[in-house]
Amino acid sequence: MRGIRILEIAKEELSREMKRVGASEEGIKRMLPKGEFVKIFLPGIPYTIANIIKQKMLSLGGETAVSRDTVKGGEGVTDCLILGTGKQIEELITYLKEQPFSTLREIVEELETVRGNYGKKEWLLPFPRHPLAIRGKPLIMGILNVTPDSFYDGGRYSRVELALNWAEKMVEEGADIIDVGGESTRPGSERVSVEEELRRVLPVVKELVKRIDVPISIDTYKAEVARLAIEEGAEMVNDISAMRFDKEMVEVVREREVPVVLMHMKGTPKDMQENPFYVDVMGEIYEFLLRRAEWAMGKGIKKENIVIDPGIGFGKRTIDNLEIIRRLPELKSLGFPILIGPSRKSFIGNILGGLPPEERLEGTASAVAIAVLKGANIIRVHDVGAMKKVVEVAYAISGEEDK
């Protein structure tokens, strides 16, 4: 796949995208008012094809922003930004299907796939013992850190019985999934050994499966930890590295046939917040998740077992985190459930004048509400009871329940 995606951006961001594509100022002024409709981004299109698309959209009353060099023809390529109504896009696709270019057929196929993905609202997460359906309203994933040094609740649940009691409370408050983690991934954190991580998480997972009736996720990037946790009853792997840090992880996920969360992160937890920078934050995240999902499926992992996560707070500046949440619907074009975890993260504290994690509940509620309105499918949070209420209200406001 080329990485075609439907953009979900305001006018100001649309103007910026046109400038990045290379459109002229005059062209931007002319096209911007039409950008209230469907906006589809096509990367790396040959000049010949781009000109066909542009001319057809113009004839339909739509627009296509391309590099100013496209008119010169030749062998170059350009990004394209298509602006049009749903009807105009359908007519464009019909027209392109009739053209003799093999490249166009590939583009049309992906366009149709992306549009279908974007409108998808239901998924079935095939947990081995507790399959869960997502039908509009997001699921709640409760965070259970059995670590001494997590950024918010480090040490609070490091004793097994305390961890079990807290997990039971989260389930009572409405958690659909419990995510157990034995290594802090806060900025600047050091890695722990496989043995230490197993010592922390296995007793909790082993007992938890006897006491709760919801799926347990294991938050780890280590294949051995994932394998043994699954043997004890875990039904999902939440891998912050998108299965990059441990080459054996893909085999564990494939052989056990459990869902896996593929998350975007720049660097490692130790260095991810050392001056992270993006030219196009959503484009880079989209491309990364697309390639990791394609790689995973190429290794035999079923599409229905993949969940994606843009990685709020992992190698991101405050402005990046805000843009990710604001443009979250773009990730729907990939066709996988979207997990997002803004809970008590640093960007919330930064917005609120430097508030510490324990004072970020209201800010988290705001971020969660917006994420729901933007189409998140799983919300990963510390405060299940409070955020369950936020999700209920935000989802009701979204009007999706009435559709």
Residue-wise pLDDT for 360-382, tens only, equals: 999 999 999 999 999 999 999 99
Q: Which pLDDT score, from 0 to 100, does residue 335 have?
A: 97
Q: Verify that 331 and 346 share a domain, yes or no.
A: yes
Which sign, positive or negative, has the C-alpha torsion 334, 337, 341, 342? positive
Q: Which pLDDT score, from 0 to 100, does residue 278 have?
A: 95
Q: Verify that 108 and 133 share a domain, yes or no.
A: no
Q: Verify that 278 and 372 share a domain, yes or no.
A: yes
Percent composition of the chain: helix, strand, coil (DSSP 3-state, to 5): 50, 15, 35
Q: Which pLDDT score, from 0 to 100, does residue 33 have?
A: 72
Please say whether the beta carbons of 270 and 189 come within 8 A: yes
Q: How many folded domains does the chain comprise?
A: 2
Q: Verify that 201 and 350 share a domain, yes or no.
A: yes
CATH number of the domain within which 260 lies: 3.20.20.20
Residue 146 contacts by C-beta under 8 Å, 6 or more apart in sequence?
Answer: 157, 158, 160, 163, 180, 181, 182, 200, 201, 204
Domain edge (last residue) among 93, 118, 143: 118
The Cα–Cα gap between 289 and 263 comes to: 7
Residue 265 contacts by C-beta under 8 Å, 6 or more apart in sequence?
Answer: 240, 241, 242, 272, 311, 314, 315
Domain edge (last residue) among 59, 94, 118: 118
CA-based Rg of the chain, rounded to a whole angstrom? Answer: 22
Global pTM? 0.90
Please say whether the beta carbons of 340 and 367 come within 8 A: no
Domain hosting 376: range is 122-402
Q: Which pLDDT score, from 0 to 100, does residue 72 have?
A: 83
Domain edge (last residue) among 72, 89, 118: 118
Q: Verify that 144 and 76 share a domain, yes or no.
A: no
Q: Verify that 202 and 318 share a domain, yes or no.
A: yes
Q: Which pLDDT score, from 0 to 100, does residue 274 have?
A: 84
Q: Verify that 109 and 196 share a domain, yes or no.
A: no
Q: Verify that 391 and 292 share a domain, yes or no.
A: yes
Q: Verify that 67 and 156 share a domain, yes or no.
A: no
Q: Which pLDDT score, from 0 to 100, does residue 319 have?
A: 97
Q: Verify that 368 and 291 share a domain, yes or no.
A: yes
Are β-strands 236-239 and 260-263 bridged in parallel, bridged antiparallel, or unpaired?
Answer: parallel
Q: Which pLDDT score, from 0 to 100, does residue 269 have?
A: 84
Helix pair angle (249-256, 223-232), 10° resolution: 20
Element (H, E) at 180: strand 177-181
The residues carrying an active-site annotation are: 345, 380
Please say whether the beta carbons of 13 and 327 come within 8 A: yes
Element (H, E) at 320: helix 318-326
Q: Which pLDDT score, from 0 to 100, does residue 155 have?
A: 53
Structure tokens at 295: 């790689």
Task: Scan for tokens 């922003």, then name that residue.
Answer: 65
Q: Verify that 17 and 107 share a domain, yes or no.
A: yes
Q: Verify that 335 and 394 share a domain, yes or no.
A: yes
DSSP 228-246: HHHHHT--EEEETTTT-S-
Taking 50 as the pLDDT cut, the residues of the chain under it are none
